[in-house]
Structures are given as structure tokens and as C-alpha cells.
Amino acid sequence: MTTLAELGEFDLIARIKARASRLHSRDVVVGIGDDAAVLRPRANEDLVVSTDALVEDVHFRWDNQSPASLGRRALLANLSDLAAMGARPVGFTLALSAPTSLTLTRIDGMLGGLLREAKAYGCPLIGGNLSRAKQTTMAITVLGAVQRGRALRRDTAQPGDAICVTGTLGGAGLALRKSGDSGSALRHLPKARVAAGRALARLKNAGACIDISDGFVSDLGHVLKASGVGAEIDLSRIPTPRAFARGCEQLGLDATKIALHAGEDYELLFTLRSLNGVRRPSEAALSKRLGVQVTEVGRVEKARGLRGLGASSSAAGFRHF
Amino acid sequence: MTTLAELGEFDLIARIKARASRLHSRDVVVGIGDDAAVLRPRANEDLVVSTDALVEDVHFRWDNQSPASLGRRALLANLSDLAAMGARPVGFTLALSAPTSLTLTRIDGMLGGLLREAKAYGCPLIGGNLSRAKQTTMAITVLGAVQRGRALRRDTAQPGDAICVTGTLGGAGLALRKSGDSGSALRHLPKARVAAGRALARLKNAGACIDISDGFVSDLGHVLKASGVGAEIDLSRIPTPRAFARGCEQLGLDATKIALHAGEDYELLFTLRSLNGVRRPSEAALSKRLGVQVTEVGRVEKARGLRGLGASSSAAGFRHF
């Protein structure tokens, strides 16, 4: 099998460039191939920047998932960060380090998955860097744009805000435990909630927002800490996937715990308020607006700390902030 | 000695955040600590993005330079890319992977050098990612801004353009060979020519531009190839540092070869033209304008290929494109 050593750096760059240049964007004036990429910001937009890295043997293994799925995953956390800011994707850079023994099959598969995912979100590869290393690392920096001053933040939750989540929680956590694999090789990758985040950023009622990568409780904790507030959560309202309780039971798992603490679902957690007489939309209206099921699960409170209401709150293992 | 393992990820992030937040910028609306950073582009500016990575045992070793110097180097190539585009620095992200055995002394020293360099160029750290790994890697993505449509490119050289370089060439190559160290631990790091690049981007006469990281001939080759042109170089005009010829002689090195092919000087190579009656400035006027010595070393020609004029042209080992 052809390896990176046989292909050589310049051939690999040419290969990536040829594949990446198929995706055009009116935001990009100069793409791959110069000293730097050039983007043209649109009027009245702010620019959003986030960086995330996947490291071999830490975040992934080559042998328990397809290279294409790995490529998709490499972009997922970044796109989800854009979603949490309410931004549309503009482009991304890739710093790829890999052993010279890495096969072309794996590299091509990974790049294919990455670039397909990028295309699906309208987020072209605009530059990057290649280097050899002992283990494969994909460090991605993604750029997005959002209407000026409308970026969703963590530190803007206010007492009285409703706390909402998109989609369902716990599905990724259960799937991981089902596969008995700690290498987090999810068979069905979650989607980054980019469209929902953009719709949310357009709502005047929007408060704070974060994506749930670490787990509901942990990520809500980031919002509460940054905003200097507390919250009360109705545990009976935490939305979970179909057959989730039974699935957990079969594995002897505490369903509430998985839903509240397992990460990797990449749903959005956000707050909403009634504003100057503009009442906040109903769950149904919100779900329509955001294009995804929205569930109200609690309320922001002035008193610090996180309180869970409901039968299984003791099992939930809430940490108090 | 305290290691990364003992410190823990969150403490390290808090440490970096505390140090990074000392540098403010009016371009940055949200810095480290949210899902993503938010930048506010100024009117009529394009945004410039470049990524570069330093990998332990590939690009550097910890034991032949100070951690602070390593931190400075990590930003140098990125800032030089901005310079080559004529852009002012806006901010950067850092994806840092490191073994858990890495000492706090090294991390702190490295971060100190990195953030001092960032401050000197007005380029705040706006976000990043931490991960453990087998070897230390610093993947940096830098963002810059340039007047709309004025970014300097590689593909805009035209027949008749004068070819110029800033500063002197070969100094870094000679220093590396003097130290007898292939780990590229330069005692005196070059400066990124950011101010010169910005001044150049404001000149109507400016043509193409690239920074000399690989070596004069190699980087000129990138410009010629991208622009579909050739060039004639007067080898006797290649500017070298004081006492360079003697230094090379003492080591038995071919001075012309070092000046033309050694990299790491991070000077700018650019082309200039007379335009609609606006004659291109003299070397003296240019040097004043760019704040650094500028030397005219050749001319862009229609016929492809690179021709070196001068006694030692055979020693220069020109590749022809």
C-alpha cells in the first residue's frame, strides 16, 4: 500500500488542493496556494473563530471506524461551535500531522469524509499545513460569520430565562456504551446544529447558548458560571431518544445519568426570555423556527447553583457550583 | 518539577487565559472562554488566514533552545505569512498537544515567549485547544486584515516588474551551519516583516509578494510559477549580511549558494512596476517607505525559467522551472 512517505508532501498538498478547490464560496477571495487565504467579510457581520483537534490514540483510533467517518468527526466539533455562536460556516484550515507510514487509503478516505462534510455545510478548506509526526493529529480552525452583535454567547443568561435544548440527549452516550468501545467510534455521527443556531441568533428573545459536547450538566454549568446565575431543571422534561430508557435498562445503565452527563450529542442548550412585551415563542413555534424539536427543561435563577427537580434527581449526581 | 499531568487541563487553560487576556485589541469582541472567539472586521478590509505548525523532533527540540525562543518561533512563520500578504495581525489560535510529562517550566517559558511575541505584533491569542499527545505540537492559525482588494499575492508578477528583497539573505543559513545544529535553533530569530509588508500593500506599484522561508530561489520559483512568468537575477546584487562572505569562507561554504538557497530569513521578496506614469520608487525611497533596506535584484521576464547573471551563477545551482 502506498504510504505518505512514498507520496511525498508536495504531491499530497496538490492532491488536497485539487479536491478542495471543487468547493467554491463567495466569501473566499484567495483559497489554498498563497501565503495565506483571503476572505471578504460581508457588511454588518462579525467573524467567529474556533479551533479543535483530534489526536490519534487520544480522541480516535484508525482501526475502529472508517477513515471517512473520522474525517467527518474532525469537522463536527468545530461546526458545532459555530452553531453554538449562531454563525454560518465560512471556511476552515487543517493542520495535519501524520506518520510517514500512514497509508494513502486512510488519508484519502479521511480527506474524502472531511471534504464531503465541509461541502454539506458550505465550509470550504481554505488553507493548512502538513507535517510528519509520531501520531496523526488533525487540528482544525473553522471560521464563521454572524450578523454584527448577534453572536450567541455563554455569559448572557438572565434570571427568568427558560432553558431549552434541541433534539434529544443521551443517544450518543448510550451508543458508545453499547459498542463497548471507549474509542468513541460512533456509528451514526450527530449533526452540527448549524441551521438551528443561525435561526436562534435571529431571535430577539435568545439569551445564552452553548453546544452540548461534554454533557448537559457540565455544559449548562459553563453557561451558569459565565453568566453568574443558577438554574432549576425539571428532570422529567429532559428529552431522550426513542427506546432510550429500555436500551439503558438492558445495559444496566441509569438512563437519567446518561442523558444528563454523557456528551457527544452536539445538541444546543440555550436560554430564551420575554422581551419588552415580545413573549418568548412556544415550544412548537420554536421547533418550527429552528427546524428541530425544542424542549423547555428548566429556568435560570438568580441564586447560584443547579437544582434538579424530579424523582431521579439524586441519581443524577448533580454537582453544585 | 511540576508536569502537565499534575497541573491538569483546566488549570492550564485558566493559566493561559489569564496571561492572554492582558492583551486587548479593538478587533476582538469575544476572546478566549466561549465556544468561539468573535472578531469585528473593519469596513473595507479583507481577512487573511494562515496556518503553520511546529512539531517536536521534526521542527524543534526542547534541549537546544530556550522554551521562550521556541514560543517566539511558533508565531514567526505565521506572522511572516501575514507580512507577505501585506496584512496587519488581528489575532491567533493555538492548538497545543503535549505529553503529560512536559514540565510546567517548559510550558510557561514557551507560552511566555509566544505571548510576548504576540504582544509585540499586536496579535492577541483568541482561542485554542489543548490535548495530550506523544510529542509536543503547536499548530497556530493567525488572522490578519488588509485593505479590501489590496492583499499581496503570488500570482500577480508581470513581465517588466523589478524583483526586490528586503534586508539581507543567508544570515540565518550561515548561523545554522555555524552552530552545527540541524535542529534549527537560531540564537537570533529573524523578525517578521509585518510593517514592511503593510507599507508595500499600500503602494500602487506593488506586484507579487512572498516571504522567503524556503530560500530565495525556491520562493521566487513559487511566484514565477503562480504568475506564469520567468525572471533574470543579477547575482552580484543579492544582499548579504556584513562579514557574510568571510563567515562562509571560514566554514568552507559557497556564500552565493547559502544566500540563494538557505531559508529561514523571513525577508520579503516582491515585484514592483511602473504604473500609468507612476514610476516605481527608487531603492532609497522604497527603503524609507518600507522601513527596511530594499534591494533590486532582478527583473520579471515573459519567457519562463530563471536565469542567474554573474560569475558564480554556476555555483548557485539554479533549478530551471
CA–CA separation, B189 and A280 (whole Å) = 57
Q: Which residues of A touch B94 (CB under 8 A)?
A: 51
A298 min Cα distance to partner chain B (Å): 22
B247 min Cα distance to partner chain A (Å): 32
Asked if A148 lies within 8 A of B226 by C-beta distance, the reply is no
Q: Which residues of B touch A132 (CB under 8 A)?
A: 55, 58
**B295 in any annotated domain:** yes
- Asked if A224 and A141 sit in the same domain, the reply is no
**A205 in any annotated domain:** yes
Q: Which pLDDT tens digits describe chain A residue by residue (321 residues)? A: 788 888 877 788 888 888 887 677 889 989 888 889 999 999 999 999 999 999 999 999 999 889 999 999 999 999 999 999 999 999 999 999 999 999 999 999 999 999 999 999 999 999 999 999 999 999 999 999 999 999 999 999 999 999 999 999 999 989 888 876 544 456 668 899 999 999 999 999 999 999 999 999 999 999 999 999 999 999 999 999 999 999 999 999 999 999 999 888 999 999 999 887 778 889 999 999 999 999 999 999 999 999 998 755 444 445 433
- Asked if A200 and A245 sit in the same domain, the reply is yes
Domain final position from B124, B147, B170: B147
Asked if A49 lies within 8 A of B154 by C-beta distance, the reply is no
**A156 in any annotated domain:** no
Q: What is the 3-state secondary structure (H, E, C) of chain B?
A: CCEHHHHCHHHHHHHHHHHHCCCCCCCEEECECECCEEECCCCCEEEEEEEEEEEECCCECHHHCCHHHHHHHHHHHHHHHHHHHCCEEEEEEEEEEECCCCEHHHHHHHHHHHHHHHHHCCCCEEEEEEEECCCCEEEEEEEEEEECCCCCCCCCCCCCCEEEEECCCCHHHHHHHHCCCCCCCCCCCCCCCHHHHHHHHCCCCEEEEEECCCCHHHHHHHHHHHHCCEEEEEHHHCCCCCCHHHHHHHCCCCHHHHHHHCCCCCCEEEEECCECCECCCCHHHHHHHHCCCEEEEEEEECCCEEEEECHHHCCCCCCCC
CATH number for the domain harbouring residue A98: 3.30.1330.10
Its domain, for residue B39, covers: 4-147
Q: Which residues are paired to A76 by β-bridges?
A: none
- Asked if A20 and A60 sit in the same domain, the reply is yes
Residue B213: CA count within 13 A, CB half-sphere = 18
Asked if A139 lies within 8 A of B134 by C-beta distance, the reply is no
pTM: 0.92
- Asked if A192 and A257 sit in the same domain, the reply is yes
Q: Which residue has the cell 472562554?
A: B33
Q: What is the DSSP letter of A276?
A: T
* A226, containing H or E segment: helix A216-227
CA–CA separation, B132 and B141 (whole Å) = 19
**A141 in any annotated domain:** yes
Q: Which residues are paired to B165 by β-bridges?
A: B269, B295
CATH number for the domain harbouring residue B198: 3.90.650.10
Asked if A97 lies within 8 A of B128 by C-beta distance, the reply is no
B247 with B171: CB under 8 angstroms?
no
Domain final position from A113, A147, A181: A147
CA–CA separation, A195 and A288 (whole Å) = 12
pLDDT at A189: 81
A256 with A244: CB under 8 angstroms?
no
- Asked if B19 and B132 sit in the same domain, the reply is yes
Reduced to 3 states (helix: H, G, I; strand: E, B; else coil), residue A254 is coil
Domain final position from B121, B147, B173: B147
- Asked if B102 and B197 sit in the same domain, the reply is no
* A78, containing H or E segment: helix A67-85
- What is the identity of the amino acid at B36? A
Q: Which residues of B touch A58 (CB under 8 A)?
A: 131-133
- Asked if A125 and A207 sit in the same domain, the reply is no
- Asked if B291 and B168 sit in the same domain, the reply is yes
pLDDT at B181: 56
**A172 in any annotated domain:** yes
| Buried b / exposed e along B111-148 (16+ C-beta atoms within 10 A) | bbbbbebbeebebbbbbbbbbbbbbbbbbbbbbbbbbb
Residue B230 Ramachandran class (φ > 0 left, ψ -120 to 50 alpha, else beta): beta
Q: Which residue has the cell 511540576?
A: B2
Asked if B135 lies within 8 A of A134 by C-beta distance, the reply is yes
**B321 in any annotated domain:** no
B228 min Cα distance to partner chain A (Å): 14
Q: How many domains does chain B have?
A: 2
Q: Which residues of A touch B131 (CB under 8 A)?
A: 53, 55, 58-59, 137
B89 min Cα distance to partner chain A (Å): 12
B26 with B90: CB under 8 angstroms?
no
Q: Which pLDDT tens digits describe chain B residue by residue (321 residues)? A: 788 888 877 788 888 888 887 677 889 989 888 889 999 989 999 999 999 999 999 999 999 889 999 999 999 999 999 999 999 999 999 999 999 999 999 999 999 999 999 999 999 999 999 999 999 999 999 999 999 999 999 999 999 999 999 999 999 989 888 876 544 456 668 899 999 999 999 999 999 999 999 999 999 999 999 999 999 999 999 999 999 999 999 999 999 999 999 888 999 999 999 887 778 889 999 999 999 999 999 999 999 999 998 755 444 445 433
Closest CA to B285 of B293, B273, B274: B293
pLDDT at B187: 64
C-alpha cell at position B109: 517559558
Surface-to-core class of residue B88, CB atoms within 10 Å of its CB (0-12 exposed, 13-18 middle, 19+ buried): buried
Query: Cα–Cα distances in Å, from B14 out to A315, B11, B21, B161?
Result: 31, 5, 10, 51
| Among chain B residues, CA nearest to A99 | B58
A184 with A202: CB under 8 angstroms?
no
- What is the identity of the amino acid at B140? I
| Among chain A residues, CA nearest to B50 | A36
- Pairing mode of beta strands B162-166, B88-98: unpaired
**B320 in any annotated domain:** no
| Among chain B residues, CA nearest to A268 | B35
CA–CA separation, B132 and A59 (whole Å) = 10
Q: What is the DSSP letter of A242?
A: T
pLDDT at B5: 85
Asked if A51 lies within 8 A of B93 by C-beta distance, the reply is yes
- Asked if B53 and B185 sit in the same domain, the reply is no
A136 min Cα distance to partner chain B (Å): 10
Q: Which residues of A touch B50 (CB under 8 A)?
A: 35-37, 93, 127
Q: Which residue has the cell 464560496?
A: A25
**A249 in any annotated domain:** yes
| Among chain A residues, CA nearest to B141 | A141
pLDDT at A264: 87
B99 min Cα distance to partner chain A (Å): 11
- Asked if A221 and A296 sit in the same domain, the reply is yes
Beta-carbon contacts of residue A14 (< 8 Å; ≥ 6 apart): none
Beta-carbon contacts of residue B284 (< 8 Å; ≥ 6 apart): none
- Asked if B228 and B128 sit in the same domain, the reply is no
Q: Which residues are paired to A137 by β-bridges?
A: A55, A97
pLDDT at B186: 61
- Asked if B142 and B220 sit in the same domain, the reply is no
* A159, containing H or E segment: none
- What is the identity of the amino acid at A321? F
